[in-house]
Every structure is written in C-alpha cells, then in structure tokens.
Amino acid sequence: MGSRRSLFPRRSRRTLAVGVIAPLVGALAVALVAAAPAQAAVPAGFTDTVAIGGLSSPTTAAFAPDGRVFIAEKSGLVKVFDSLSDTTPTVFADLRPQTQDFWDRGLLGLAVDPAFPARPYVYVSYTLDAVPGGTPPRWGDTCPTPPGATDKGCVVTGRVSQLTMGSAGTAVSEKPLVTGWCQQFPSHSIGALTFGPDGALYAGGGDGASFTFADYGQVGNPCADPPSPAGTNLTPPAAEGGALRSQSPRRAAGEPVLLNGALLRLDPDTGEGAPGNPFASSTDANARRVIAYGGRNQFRFGFRPGTRELWAGDVGWDTWEEINRVADVGDSAAENFGWPCFEGGARQAGYDGANLNSCESLYTAGGQAAPYYAYNHNAKVVAGDACPTGGSSISGIAFESGSNYPAEYSGALFFSDSSRGCIWAMQTVAGQPSPSRLVPFVTGVNVPVQVLTGPGGDLFYVALGSGELHRVSHPSGTNRPPVAVATASPSSGPAPLSVQFDGTGSTDPDAGDTLTYAWDLDADGAYDDSSVSRPTWTYTAVAAVDAGLRVTDSHGVSATTTVRVTVGNPVGLDPVPVIDTPTGTLTWSVGQTVPFSGRAVDAQDGQLPASALSWRLAIRHCATNGTCHTHNVQDFPGVASGSFVAPDHDYPSYLQLTLTATDSSGRTGSKTVDLQPKTVTLDFTSSPSQAMLTVGGTQQRTPFSRTVIAGSTNSISADSPQNLPPLNLKYAFTSWAHGGARTQNIVAPGTSTTYRANYRLCWLVNPC
C-alpha cells in the first residue's frame, strides 16, 4: 500500500478553520472501502483521465456554477480548486475537530448552492463526533475498547451544515441545519446532499445499526428507542431500535420520528422540513423533514434531469443492493422502502425470524415500495462483465445530461459499486432507464464512492482508493485529450544534479488547442512544484525524483506522465519497513488486544524515526468465491508500536496490518501482514429435525453449520410457529437447549458448539 500523505498544510495557499465564535482546532472502508490499485477500463471511444489527483481519501465532489470544484475528504477537510486545471487547491473548510473519521464514518456529503456565489453557501454532511445532545469531540478518530466498535459501539450522531464563504474565498462560519442520526455502530452513517429542481436541499443517512447481526436494539439501546429508555436492552416483539429506526415514521403517536434511513427535503437556510412534505402537519420536526424512509444506507442519490424523480442507491446487507425511486418529491406520499423488514423486494429473514411487531404489521398491511432495480451480491450485473461478484456496496447515482456521448447513452442512469470497483450504465427505453439495457461503463476503478456529471456533461467519479477525481469523456466529440510526454536530461548522476526537464514533446490532437504545463516533484499528486508553469525548466536534484508532468488543453482536459531521475550513490531507493510483531502466524478472536511494532531503514537516511512510520488496520471482507474487498478501520500515524482490539466481522474475513515508511526525500515503502482469525463451527439442530432457523440474515432448515470467528456476535431466531416436513404438521418453539429467548444474540465460543431448538406439536387441546 502506497503513501497517503495529504497535500496540506505544507503547500496550501490559504487555510482557515471554520468557526467565528470558537476557532476549530485540529484533529482523519457505500460501506466505504479501499482496494488494491487497478487500471480502469472504459468502452471503445471513451477516455478515462485523472481530473484532480493527490487527494487523501476523497469522498465527494461538487461543481460550482462559477467553475470552482469543491472536494471533500473523509477526514473533514473541504478543498476548493479554482477550476479543473488548478493544481494548487485551497482548504475551504477544516471540519476535522468535530468529524469522526473512523471506519465508514467521516465527511461524506457535499453540495454547492445553485445560486453560488451570489448565495455564498456550501453544504456538508458529516459524522458528528458527539453523542446525542453532546458536544464534540467525544471519541476522536477511533473507538476504544470498551465500549468496542462492534461490541457496545461508540455512539455518535450526524450533522448537515451550511458553510458561508467569505471574501477570501474560504469558509468563515458553519451554521448547523440538522443534527441527529443516532449511530451506534461504525457504518451506515450520514450520506449524500443534493439540490432539487425546486431549490430544496435533499439529505439522507443510514440506519447506524449493526452490520454483523439482526439489530433491533438489544445491545444497550443507547439511542433510547421505544419501548424502553437508553441503557435497557430491547427484546422482541415490541423492540423498535437498531435497524428498525428506519421504520420510525410508522411508530405510534407520540413516539419520536428519527432521520435514520430516511430521505429528507429541507429548507436550505433553516434545515426545517420544506413546505408540502408528506408529514408537514406533524408536531415532530423530524417527521416534517421526511419524504421517504425504510432505507438501510441510502448513501448516494440524485435527480433525473427534467423531472422531480429522486433516485437513491441503498446499500444492502447479505444479499441485495437496491436502486429506489421517489416518483415525485413534492407529492403527499412518503415512500417506505421496507428495510429492515424487506430487502431486495423480499422479506429479510433475520428480522422476519424475530417476529418484530414493526415488521409483522408491515407484512400484514403491505404498501412498501419495491426497488426499481435490485442486484444480488453473487450475481453479475451484466453477464460477462469484468466486475467481481460475492460482495457489493452501491455507491453512486447520476444521470447523463447534455454530454456528447453516443446516442445510446442519452438519459442513461449511471451507478457505481465500491466493492466491485465498477460503474454501469442503465440505458433508456422509451425515455426511462431500463434494467433490460444494462452495460458496463467503467471497470477496475479503485473504490468509486460517487458519480456525478460535470463540465461538458461528462461523467466524473471520485475514486477513494487512489485519491482522485476522474473524468470520462468521448473524444470523438468536440474535444480530445492531450498526450503528455516528459524527458529529463541527465536522468541520473551524483548529487547535486542539474536536470533539464522538458515537456515540449507533449501534443494535442485538436488543431488550435494550446497546452499549459504543471510539474509534481514529490509524488503527492499536486502539480505545483515549479515556480512557473512552463514546458521546460532546470532543477537541482539532491535526491531521487519522480517528476510528474500534467498538460492541460484549452478546454480543461488533462493528461499526465512521469519521468524518474536517480541521484546519489547509492541510487535513490525506497525505505524498507519491517513488521516485527505481529507475525503472520498469529490468529485472533474478536475483542483480543493485538500489539504491533516495527521499524524501517533507508539507504540514505539510515534507521528512520517513529515519526516516519504510519500504520493502517483494515479488514479484508471476502466472499465464498474468494473475491475480497477492504474496509479501512483505523490509522496509527507517527508511531513505532501500539496495539489494536480485533473487531467483529462476518466470516470469511481477515485483518491486514500495513506499515508505511517515508524517508526524507518523500519516498515510501510499505509492508503488509495478513492476520487470519480463529474460527469455530456452530452446528444448528432441532427437535424434531428440519425446523427453519435464522442465523444472522439467512434462514435454513436444520441440520446445518456456520463457520464464524471466535468471539463474534451472532443473532439467532427459531421461527415459530412453522410447518415441518415430511407431514407438514404445525410446531411451536418451546426452548433452546442452551436456554434464552427464542430470538437472541450468541457470542461464538472458542470451540465448536451445537445449538438445538426444541419444538412441540400443535394440537387442538394444545394449540400454537
């Protein structure tokens, strides 16, 4: 894994921490995930170029009407570029002190006022590092044990804010508009922001519930969901916590409506629900904001041009990813997309098996909105496409509008999957996106977490894994990208070495286009290292240099290349890190404290200090077919040793610990150790046999077995009543052999264990 150094603050032209009353002070795997670098591929006739690079975990971008480009990074920074050709961004706002950047939490939503800069407002949504009603910071960018990220959870909230731009072009104040979204577990946090054709601001967020078990509030109920106060574990059938927060608009009168799993239509100046919303007459302020609910993690959404249709991608659990559609954001209906009672249009087994009143009443009454399109984690979106299966996280929604793309893409819906690293196009039939016309558009993307349209109507996407904003263009239209060519003379020699860099070999295929030049000497992706942007210049190198050249044509389209210069004796080499502990032989259980230590040596600098070392803990989540994607959990910068607590996760998965060393010249080297978990087999039986039991989110008839990580938490339910083969007689649950309620959580022990559910036959004299 390469170095992930921020561009700032060393080369920032201007920085200002937001806050006019109290200055903000410093404080950084949809699910957001990171993967190994990949070479993206596009259809014949298209080009994929880096529009802006050198970013640190970018999550979302927005184009302003005046040509400025705003990009948010997960840590809480908002950067602004004067245009796509600007190579030296400004820190527009620094929200790191109040943003919790941990696991899938962080600064995740961004929008620019449609009347910008006359209305000088930029809007952000981020994980607020504060408990409900509290003030930040509460946890920092971590979750200690106890309470444990996947055990009791580090409870935080979410926030949507309006940032005001001052005369210097940076944010001078933050005005919180909405604070809520109680989140117990470290995923399904806050989500996208966008403006609608009506001028309203649209916001969304996830359920904040567990992703490892069917969560209805049985682990402490810290969000104080009905029917019990905070601190009291909830039990079926009356429990309304955990993922059931997404169904809160259906709660009984007087019970609070929450923002989790909902789509909101807001007044952009006050954060109040916009006039005409479905629950506009409610006395509950949150209810007045809601126009749709029942989502698990509606991470990205957008409007179909020329309509009032809002299309949302909803990240699924074990089986399905959904694209949901709100037909008219201004009508009186509040769509219910059904989570957690439904997923992919069918009942969700984990929550169905718990016999929860909130779901059972929905099953009886019906009325949930089916997804417009859903795809299975184990199936191809397009037969034969280059995208892996076995896991999915839908992470982007955008529509073609005004591009010079071929006619078959007119009005197409583009959607991305961060786990598969792919973007597809759903082309139209009779003017409407049709699942019958799906084609791969970009494959091999390094973690796409947003798709959006930008200048020229082209599709852009944010690649979190590579730290880049990409542009997909069709050069057969009005403009073709340039070709970057760079040379260095001499290319090697003793220090100090006078080097002539030359980019005059760069060309542009379009007659009349002129090129501008920018250089990057420290491999940070910011082409800002020459005193003057010019095609040739002389540089005195005292250490090895990887010189990057970026050429940009008159239309703002860029191309890049790199030329290496080696200096000194020995030749400039990457530092060599060594992980002393843990070794790859270690196996771990959930909750186990794992110490780590390491060092690094450099050919020129010698032994590197701890300040030159940075660690990253990640989870590699794999499918049964062997394909894996990565969830970054936590970074440990500037230390030679430390420890972490092994988190809970579905199996198959394992931990990756990466040590990256950076020498005095900026060169980096990395070493990774894979840490496999201790696993145990849980055997499920019943008396009589063939009973339907639910483990996690999946139902199965006994006997069956599940392999899980030792110490992991697993939800189990014994469905009751049910008809059992072969005679199809009705049976009722009586007990688990190990004790406990019909629906419960179990912690996997250190050895294989059998769990037996006991049933009795239902008779007329002893009915179910």
Q: Does residue 14 or residue 461 have the better pLDDT?
A: 461
Q: Hey, what are 76's tokens?
A: 């809480």
Which residue type sits at 279? F
The mean pLDDT value for 36-61 works out to 87
Which residues are paired to 99 by β-bridges? 128
Question: In the predicted model, is pLDDT for residue 7 greater than 50?
Answer: no
Instruction: Please tell me the distance from the alpha carbon of residue 432 to that of residue 312, in angstroms, as a whole number.
Output: 16
d(CA 149, CA 617): 13
pLDDT at 511: 66
Give the confidence band of 497 by pLDDT, cuts at 50, 70, 90: confident
Q: Which amino acid is at 614?
A: S
Whether the per-residue pLDDT at 560 is higher than 80: the answer is yes
* 492 and 60 Cβ atoms separated by less than 8 Å: no
What's the CA angle centered on 740, arms 737 and 746, to 5 degrees? 90
Give the single-character DSSP code of 206. Answer: B
Q: What is the pLDDT of residues 397-420, one digit of tens each?
A: 999 999 999 999 999 999 999 999
Structure-model confidence comparison of residues 530 and 310, the more confident one: 310
- Read off the pLDDT band of 539 (50, 70, 90): confident
What digits encode the pLDDT tens for the residues 717-740?
Answer: 999 999 999 999 999 999 999 999
- pLDDT higher than threshold 50 for residue 17: no
- How many whole angstroms separate alpha carbon 144 and alpha carbon 241? 23
Note whether 571 and 544 are within 8 A (CB): yes
The Cα–Cα gap between 383 and 638 comes to 46
Average confidence (pLDDT) over 539-568 = 83
Burial class (CB in 10 A: 0-12, 13-18, 19+), 152: middle
Give the per-residue pLDDT at 61. Answer: 98
- Summarize pLDDT for 261-311 with one digit per residue, the tens: 999 999 999 999 999 999 999 999 999 999 999 999 999 999 999 999 999
**Tens of pLDDT along 372-399?**
999 999 999 999 999 999 889 999 999 9
pLDDT at residue 693 in the model? 97
Give the residue-averaged pLDDT of 655-680.
Answer: 95
How far, in Å, CA of 118 to CA of 303, rounded?
A: 23
Q: Domain limits of the chain?
A: 56-373, 487-567, 576-677, 679-761
Contacts of 169-173 with CB under 8 Å at 24 or more apart are 169/14, 169/80, 169/90, 169/92, 170/14, 170/15, 170/16, 170/80, 170/90, 170/91, 170/92, 170/93, 171/16, 171/18, 171/78, 171/92, 171/93, 171/122, 172/16, 172/18, 172/20, 173/18, 173/19, 173/20
Averaged pLDDT for residues 253-258: 96
Cα distance between residue 745 and residue 529, in whole Å: 56
Strand arrangement of the beta sheet that strand 310-314 belongs to: 300-303, 310-314, 320-326, 373-376
Count CB atoms within 10 A of the CB of residue 646: 26
pLDDT band per the 50, 70, 90 thresholds, residue 28: very low
Percentage of residues in the chain with pLDDT exceeding 70? 93
Q: What is the mean pLDDT of residues 31-56?
A: 76
How far CA 581 is from CA of 597, 601, 610, 641, in Å, comes to: 5, 17, 15, 9
Sheet holding 536-541, edge to edge: 487-489, 497-502, 536-541
* CA 217/CA 236 separation, integer angstroms: 10
Place of tokens 């359920």: 207
Mean of pLDDT values over 411-432: 97
Residue 256's identity, in one-letter code, is: P
Q: What average pLDDT is seen over the chain?
A: 91
Higher-confidence residue: 544 or 261? Answer: 261
CA atoms within 13 A on the CB side of 710: 13
Question: Whole-angstrom distance between the N-terminal and C-terminal Cα of the chain?
Answer: 58
CATH number for 487-567 (one of 2.60.40.10, 1.10.274.10, 3.40.630.30, 2.30.40.10): it is 2.60.40.10
What b/e sequence results for 41-54 when a residue is b if at least 16 CB atoms lie within 10 Å of its CB, and e otherwise? ebbeebebbbbbbb
Residues 6+ away with beta carbon under 8 Å from 398: 302, 413, 414, 415, 451, 452, 453, 459
Q: pLDDT-derived band of residue 14, with 50, 70 and 90 as boundaries?
A: very low
Sequential DSSP letters for 449-470: EEEEE-GGG-EEEEETTTTEEE
CATH of 576-677, one of 1.10.1200, 2.60.40, 3.30.1380, 1.10.3470: 2.60.40
How high is the pLDDT of residue 1? 30
CA dihedral 238, 244, 247, 251 (to 10 degrees): 30
* Cis status of the peptide bond prior to 725, with omega within 30 of 0: no
Highest mean pLDDT pick, 95-104, 497-506, 549-558: 95-104
In the predicted model, what is the mean pLDDT of residues 171-180?
98
Q: Which residue(s) pair with 581 in the sheet?
A: 597
Given a cut of 70, whether residue 216 has pLDDT beyond it is: yes
Contacts of 372 (CB under 8 A, 6+ apart): 311, 322, 323, 324, 325
Inter-residue contact 415 to 394 (CB < 8 Å): yes
Q: How many degrees, rounded to 5, is the angle at CA 759 between CA 755 and CA 764?
A: 175
Average pLDDT of the residues in 508-536: 79
Instruction: Give the range among 83-92, 376-385, 523-532 with minimum mean pLDDT.
Output: 523-532
Query: Between β-strands 593-602 and 576-581, what pairing exists: parallel, antiparallel or unpaired?
Result: antiparallel
Q: Is the pLDDT of residue 549 over 60?
A: yes
Common-topology check for domains 56-373 and 487-567: no
**Average pLDDT of the segment spanning 354-370:** 96
Measure the CA angle with vertex 701, ends 700 and 704; round to 5°: 80
Q: Is residue 704 predicted with pLDDT exceeding 90? A: yes
- pLDDT given at position 39: 61
Most distant CA pair in the chain: distance in Å?
Answer: 98
Residue 593 CA, chain-centre distance (Å), reads 26
Instruction: Output the six-digit token pair for 433.
Output: 């996106």
Mean pLDDT confidence for 203-221: 97
Confidence of residue 71 (pLDDT cuts 50, 70, 90): very high
Give me the mean pLDDT over the 621-627 stretch: 81
Q: At residue 2, does pLDDT exceed 60?
A: no
For residues 300 and 204, give the distance between their C-alpha atoms in angstroms, rounded to a whole number: 8
Q: Is 360 helix (H, G, I), strand (E, B) or coil?
A: helix
16 pLDDT more than 60: no
Q: Give, in order, the Cα–Cα distances in Å from 558 to each of 39, 88, 105, 603, 653.
A: 18, 15, 32, 35, 39
For domain 56-373, the CATH superfamily is: TolB, C-terminal domain (2.120.10.30)
pLDDT value of residue 478: 61
**Is residue 234 over pLDDT 70?**
yes
Give the pLDDT score at 529: 76
Question: Residue 180: phi, psi to the nearest 5?
Answer: 180, -140
Residue range 498-519: average pLDDT?
85
In whole angstroms, what is the distance from residue 246 CA to residue 338 CA? 8
pLDDT of residue 119: 98
Averaged pLDDT, 440-465? 96
**For 322-327, what is the mean pLDDT?**
98
pLDDT for res 5:
25
The CATH class, in words, for 679-761 is: mainly beta
Q: What are the CA-CA distances from residue 710 to residues 205, 590, 647 (Å)?
A: 32, 6, 11
Using CA atoms, how far apart are residues 425 and 638, in angstroms rounded to an integer?
43
